[in-house]
Amino acid sequence: MNRCQWCGKNSSSYGMVVLTIKENQPSQSICEDCYSRYMADILGVEDYKDYEKEATFTDCDGIEHCFQIKKENSSNRYLLGSSRVYWGR
pLDDT tens-place string over residues 55-84: 888 888 888 888 877 666 444 455 566 666
Q: What pLDDT score was predicted for residue 81?
A: 63
Domain count across the chain: 1
**Read out DSSP for the chain?**
-EE-TTT--EE-GGGEEEE--STTS--EEEEHHHHHHHHHHHHT---SSS--SEEEEE-TTS-EEEEEEEEEEETTEEEEEEEEEEE--
At 63, phi and psi to the nearest 5?
-90, 130
To the question of pTM greater than 0.75 for the whole model, the response is no
Q: Would you state the pLDDT for residue 8? A: 93
Structural domain including 30 reads: 2-87
**Over the stretch 8-66, which tens digit does the pLDDT of each residue have?**
998 776 678 899 988 899 999 998 788 878 887 877 777 665 666 778 888 888 888 88
